[in-house]
Structure 1
Amino acid sequence: MVAPEVALTFPFPGSTYLGPDPEYARMRAECPVAPVALPDGRQVWLVTRYEDVKAASTDPRFSRAETFHRGVEPFPGMSLVPPEMIISTDPPVHSRLRRLVMKVFTAHRVEEMRPHIEKVVEGLLDDLEASERPADLVSTLTTPLPLTVICDLLGVPAADRGRFHGWARQFAAVGGPPEQIQEGIARLSQYIAELIEVKRAEPADDLLSALITARDEDDQLTEQELVVFGFTLLGAGFDSSASQIANSVLALLAHFPDQWRLLCERPELISDAVDELLRVVNLFGTDTTGFPRIATEDVEIGGTVVPEGAIVLFGLTSANHDETVFPDPDRVDVTREARSHVAFGHGIHRCLGAQLARMELQVALAGLVRRFPGLRLAVPESSLQWQHGDVNHTVLSLPVTW
């Protein structure tokens, strides 16, 4: 298949938390793998169909590390991260890092956190119930829940937890000045470096202490990799979850109230509902994660040859709305079996925190439908304020009443 001429400018303007820009549906039907133009005239290639996204995600010829080796200049929606971050690497470096973190960040360890997460949610919902109405669900639940959980997991002292919230927001502001993003990364790195020294002197039963042991005793991490691992988990470990929880509740209340009522009546559907919400509700501000890859040789994908050296982005949200895989894809159906979604990515770069993020959404949603079945928006949806230029669709406040 011959790729069409470049006619579109990326990022597309019609992306919302409810789904990707409608242009992706046309691309899936007519040109599923195609180049689009950046505002500065450069090209990036978009992969839009579900099967193609999965295939490309596991193809080693699409390299993350090459984006650093070849000095890819930033573009709107591109996540600016250091080359030592696990998402920035290819095997064998990536394999070493992932083996290490999965050794200490095990599925068993995450599942053991469920009672603690349930306790955190109950406390936050107690405060919500006692608050004046309308109440802001972002400040009372969707932000403090993942923030508390990731800090507890890493062993961040309670007194420090307010310090890095703003730095993490800078880190996520891909539409802002690059120096602002770099400042956020630098401040997070400095904080983690200081915390590492504290935990070296006084180790505890937390994930950061376990990573320090791997660095100091097993020599499996460089000091820089250790710092980057820490701020990756800290900075990225709560921001995406906070946005996903808020956007999921908003979608149910504002657009799929029948599905909200069904969950209130049948809370046993929560687990399937969470995967369906992860599939439908669009976390990504550009419909992609913002982590480009480079084709290290000519690669045929979806019947189209992507040329060597091309910058490539995987449309995860488009893949999750592929009508050939998920009938009536723009609708939330909490009875649908949607575990095959790619909201967390696919292949070696699948999100390390997927199980934790899914659990947080499960526990938060279960608590809300049980204790606040009459929950509803307190303002018109059109009046909600969103963070512009962010890597995620981030609503700044979510006034609710009940």
Structure 2
Amino acid sequence: MSRTCPYHPPPGYANLRERGPLSRARLYDGRVAWVVTGYEETRRLLVDPRLSSDRSRPDFPVLVPRMAAARLTALVGMDPPEHDVQRRMLIGNFTVRRVTALRPSIRRIVDERIDALLAKGEGADLIPEFALPVPSTVICELLGVPYRDHEFFEEQTRRMLMATSTARQAADAATALLGYFDTLIGAKLAGKGEHTPDDGLLDELVEDRLRTGELSRPDLATIAMFLLVAGHETTANMIGLSILALLEHSGELARLRADGTLLTGAVEELLRFLSVADELQRVAAADIEIGGVVIEQGDGVYLPNAAANRSAEAFPDPDMFDITRSSRHHLAFGYGVHQCIGQNLARAELEIALGRLITRIPTLRLAEPLDALGTKPGGSVQGVLRLPVTW
């Protein structure tokens, strides 16, 4: 299902909710799967060990053909205990303390982009000029990936994740990215620091996990690809849609400009309200009785967090954007053992990017009507294709 408004879920989600917290829907390949729209049912299922995230299973549900080919199997596509081993390797780099230490660097990156915007004139498309390069630069610096290659990996990410890509295009993009990281890992192993950043997470993994034999080179390349793709694509769309939502809700934007202490809560409400990563899939490894139905072993289960985050049982007046709402219990980052490992980093990037932008460019406004921006289709990370603004 595709959105008709960039910052609202597809209208079909409300229709599904009317059938109950779980309902049946037919996927593109004719397979029937469960769709979960209830908030409490979504939370319960996301911590239920009988639901598998293993994308190598032949019965794992596929929403669009490219999903079977993209091979994003690290972390999100694994079950415990393999998932837990990889998560423990990485989690220390994404703690609140570690991200707090990164905030000055994030602010520098954000301010450099705003400086460039102001130097160019009185208007710009904020997607390529701000929303995308901010998280792309941040994740490159964190991983130790040369930002000069950003056009290559951003293009491959688009080919891999866009719902309009074919399975062949997605597979080719994944192969290209894995090859890129294999070459980069080889350069780091050889100590070619002159051309390769040598102070990032990837370097730590090379030294502490690859050289010790704890990780294989292909597994490390897969982890690096996952972190790079997840680290810039979702946050870029979130920054873009957050700016749009604020500009479209001028009253909330005015409240935020008047009281900067509301920024942290505003980010949580934006995460709930927008839910850009709206594609959580699982497969039942055993029968599960929930919400008055039985999910049978082998059944596909789709948990769209945009539906759960617009549930009136958890959020009164859920379709209203309110930056003073208590939204911290949203499911935008998932829930349970697969909850997004980079959520602290994403929050910091959103707070700094939005806070600095609305402060430094107080006259920011949309340059074109909402319906001219282009909304990304269903089956991909949600966002707008363009965000032309003026000031």
TM-score range relative to shorter protein: over 0.9
Amino acid at match of 1:272: G
CA distance in 2, matches of 1:164, 1:343: 25
Q: 1:263 aligns with which of 233, 250, 256?
A: 256
Q: 1:239 aligns with which of 233, 236, 242?
A: 233
Amino acid at match of 1:293: R
CA distance in 2, matches of 1:125, 1:277: 21
Amino acid at match of 2:57: H
Q: Secondary structure at the match of 1:163?
A: helix
Q: CA deviation at 1:137?
A: 1.0
Moved more, 270-279 or 123-132: 123-132
Amino acid at match of 2:227: L
Tell me if structure 2 keeps the 8 A contact 1:64–1:294: yes
Tell me if structure 2 keeps the 8 A contact 1:295–1:306: yes
Q: CA deviation at 1:86?
A: 1.3
Deviations 1:163-217 (A, max 9, x none): 2111111111233210100111111111111111111233732110111123234
Moved more, 117-126 or 153-162: 153-162
Residue aligning to 1:280: 273
CA distance in 2, matches of 1:392, 1:84: 17
Q: Secondary structure at the match of 2:56?
A: helix
Deviations 1:24-80 (A, max 9, x none): 334334321111112332101111111111110000101011x42225474338734
Q: Secondary structure at the match of 1:79?
A: helix
Moved more, 390-399 or 135-144: 390-399
Residue aligning to 2:63: 75
CA distance in 2, matches of 1:145, 1:14: 25
Amino acid at match of 1:257: S
Tell me if structure 1 keeps the 8 A contact 2:6–2:384: no
CA distance in 1, matches of 2:206, 2:19: 50
Aligned length: 385
Q: Secondary structure at the match of 1:145?
A: helix
Q: 2:246 aligns with which of 246, 252, 270?
A: 252
Deviations 1:69-128 (A, max 9, x none): 225474338734427421111011011111111134443222211000001111111111
Q: Secondary structure at the match of 2:76?
A: helix
Residue aligning to 1:158: 147
Amino acid at match of 1:396: L
Q: CA deviation at 1:135?
A: 1.2
Deviations 1:253-280 (A, max 9, x none): 12x1100111111111111000000000
CA distance in 2, matches of 1:124, 1:317: 30
Structure 1 residues 77 and 273, CA gap change in structure 2 (3 angstroms):
farther
Structure 1 residues 325 and 84, CA gap change in structure 2 (3 angstroms):
closer
Residue aligning to 2:99: 110
CA distance in 1, matches of 2:236, 2:336: 24
Tell me if structure 1 keeps the 8 A contact 2:61–2:301: no
Residue aligning to 1:211: 205
Residue aligning to 1:6: none
Residues 1:47 and 2:20 are matched in the alignment: no
Structure 1 residues 14 and 138, CA gap change in structure 2 (3 angstroms):
closer
Q: CA deviation at 1:220?
A: 2.6
Amino acid at match of 2:103: R
Residue aligning to 1:97: 86
Structure 1 residues 240 and 193, CA gap change in structure 2 (3 angstroms):
same
Unaligned segments of structure 2, at least 5 residues:
none
Structure 1 residues 104 and 248, CA gap change in structure 2 (3 angstroms):
closer
Tell me if structure 1 keeps the 8 A contact 2:61–2:300: no
CA distance in 2, matches of 1:312, 1:71: 11
Identity %: 36
Q: 1:123 aligns with which of 112, 118, 143?
A: 112
CA distance in 2, matches of 1:84, 1:323: 33
Tell me if structure 2 keeps the 8 A contact 1:104–1:211: no
CA distance in 1, matches of 2:326, 2:288: 32
Amino acid at match of 1:69: R
Q: Secondary structure at the match of 1:162?
A: helix
CA distance in 2, matches of 1:73, 1:308: 13
Residue aligning to 1:355: 344
CA distance in 2, matches of 1:283, 1:117: 21
CA distance in 1, matches of 2:282, 2:379: 20
TM-score calculated relative to the size of structure 2: 0.93
Structure 1 residues 50 and 158, CA gap change in structure 2 (3 angstroms):
same
Tell me if structure 2 keeps the 8 A contact 1:280–1:330: yes
Amino acid at match of 1:189: L
Amino acid at match of 1:75: L
Structure 1 residues 346 and 200, CA gap change in structure 2 (3 angstroms):
same
Amino acid at match of 1:303: G
Structure 1 residues 349 and 188, CA gap change in structure 2 (3 angstroms):
same
Residue aligning to 2:179: 190
Structure 1 residues 76 and 82, CA gap change in structure 2 (3 angstroms):
closer
Tell me if structure 1 keeps the 8 A contact 2:288–2:296: yes
Tell me if structure 2 keeps the 8 A contact 1:79–1:391: no
Tell me if structure 2 keeps the 8 A contact 1:317–1:343: yes
